[in-house]
Amino acid sequence: MKLEEYLEFFKKYYYKKLFNLNELHSLTNIPKNILTVELNRLVEKKIVERVTKGVYVNPFNKPSIEEISMFLKFPSYISMEYALFVQNIMSQAVYTLTLITTLTPYEYQFKNYSLEYHQIKKEFFFGYYESSPKIYMAYPEKALLDIIYIRYKKGKMDKYIFESFLSDLYLSELNEKKVVEYAEKMGFKKGSNSPLSLVSPFIGRYLWGNERVRAKTIISNFSWVSTFYKSLQK
């Protein structure tokens, strides 16, 4: 198709913010190899943006980075550090969009954004809501548990890094009952040797009050962290 025809095509499908190559082929009946060549030219001319191989932005209705993240891997939901930041639990700015998926983990780079998809078991894929149309966000309580599960299980965060991380959170904003409920659903069994038995009283005793309490005021009470880590290795 000529440039004018592509522009008319994107205007016609204004309601679609993103297209993959298969969709474009189905809608235009143009062979994929020809589509790829023609779209490459549009990208070079900065008329169309390419998110990653085979994924293109509608120039007349550009998506947000959150919408892009939902399109690239489905099912997935926004979680961990990014979810805590946008829900005002984490004060430090986050520039990496962190997501949970049941699919293969992957990383994308688009403009100034990094997108990280972390794999989790299907039975742990819960604790999120639709924050806006077709954008799924973890509840803060689940976002924190996802961090503990993903970062600790994979050995990417030791006790001291975790302490530093918690010092930047407004943990008093979390719902203790929801933390416990989600932890149980993720298989943290009750008992004296369970991380849940340590996390629950830790949260109830030190973090919940009438004011927003920063975690650095209770940094000395992190003996449960190493226990949590060891339990995840089993």
Domain boundaries, the chain: 3-63, 67-232
CB distance 101 to 75 below 8 Å = yes
For residue 229, the model assigns a pLDDT of: 46
For residue 208, the model assigns a pLDDT of: 36
End-to-end Cα, the chain, rounded Å: 57
Q: Which CATH number fits domain 3-63: 1.20.120, 1.10.10, 2.40.360, 2.30.30?
A: 1.10.10
The two three-digit tokens of residue 147, written as one number? 């961090």
Of 72, 52, 48, give the one whose Cα is nearest residue 60: 48
CB distance 87 to 135 below 8 Å = no
pLDDT in tens, the chain (234 residues): 999 999 999 999 999 999 999 999 999 999 999 999 999 999 999 999 999 999 999 999 999 999 999 999 999 999 999 999 999 999 888 989 999 999 999 999 999 899 999 999 999 999 999 999 999 999 999 999 998 888 866 666 666 777 677 778 888 788 878 887 888 888 765 544 444 443 444 443 333 333 344 444 433 343 444 444 445 545
Of 67, 50, 52, give the one whose Cα is nearest residue 16: 67
For residue 153, the model assigns a pLDDT of: 63
